[in-house]
A = this chain, B = another copy of it.
Amino acid sequence: MSRNIQVLLCGLFFAAPLGLWREATVAAPASSAPHYTRDGGLAFPASYRTWTFLTSGFDMSYSASMRMDHHMFDNVFVNPDSYADFVRTGTWPDKTMLVMEQRAGQSRGSINKLGAFQREIVGVEVHVRDDARFPGRWAFFAFGPSDRTGTMLPPAASCYACHSDHAAVDTTFVQFYPTLLPIAERHGTLSHGYRSELRDAGSH
């Protein structure tokens, strides 16, 4: 199962181990600036569930041969100040934090019979822009179950190249954030790679 999840998440952010997750996010401090530990880890942004929601994907995969034995939702949140900046400018400011929360999907439960609803968290990843800190301006951090500190993915991890090559705005997958894509289009902030992809596809 973990190999499948790695394939699934690589192009989104990156892999995180499956497992039950704390649901302690609601009582957390409200600060949305990134905080780091002495050894370069990222402090868990515990209040992210009250940040601005961008989208939720279902069983998304960038590989057509991907097969999973479970369903997965990806909920994406961003700190509110950066969201407001994006609405105004079409791109992200320094110190932006995008949080991707992965939740198991369940089909049958209570009166639901088809489709899927969301259950427990199985992983959280954070994509941080910090111009003074990261040579590539952005970095990915993975949080295992119960972790209060996230581990930075090395710049050679495939997610960096995938985001750099395919993401619509400044290494972020704005093409999957339906309220933000039209704003980026209006501001002319779509990446060269994404615009090339659009031209090759003939439409979006």
Contact of A83 with B by CB under 8 A: yes
Q: How many copies does the complex hold?
A: 2
With A87-B26, A87-B27, A118-B55 already in contact, the answer to whether A204 and B62 are too (CB < 8 A) is no
Which of chain B's residues have a CB closer than 8 A to the CB of A50? 52, 80, 83
Q: Are A110 and B178 in contact (CB under 8 A)?
A: no
Which of chain B's residues have a CB closer than 8 A to the CB of A55? 117-118
Contact of A63 with B by CB under 8 A: yes
Q: How far is the CB of A59 from chain B (nearest CB, A)?
A: 3
Cα–Cα distance between A110 and B55 once the two chains are bound (Å): 16
Contact of A73 with B by CB under 8 A: yes
**Chain A interface mostly helix, strand, loop or mixed?**
mixed
Q: How far is the CB of A175 from chain B (nearest CB, A)?
A: 5
Q: Are B26 and A103 in contact (CB under 8 A)?
A: no
Q: Are B73 and A119 in contact (CB under 8 A)?
A: no
Cα–Cα distance between A8 and B63 once the two chains are bound (Å): 30
Contact of A56 with B by CB under 8 A: yes
**Binary contact track A61-89/B, C-beta < 8 Å → 1, others 0:** 11110100000010101001001000100
A residues neighboring B (CB under 8 Å): 11, 23, 25-27, 49-50, 52-53, 55-64, 66, 73, 75, 77, 80, 83, 87, 103, 105, 109-121, 162, 166, 168, 173, 175-176, 178-179, 182-183, 194, 197, 204
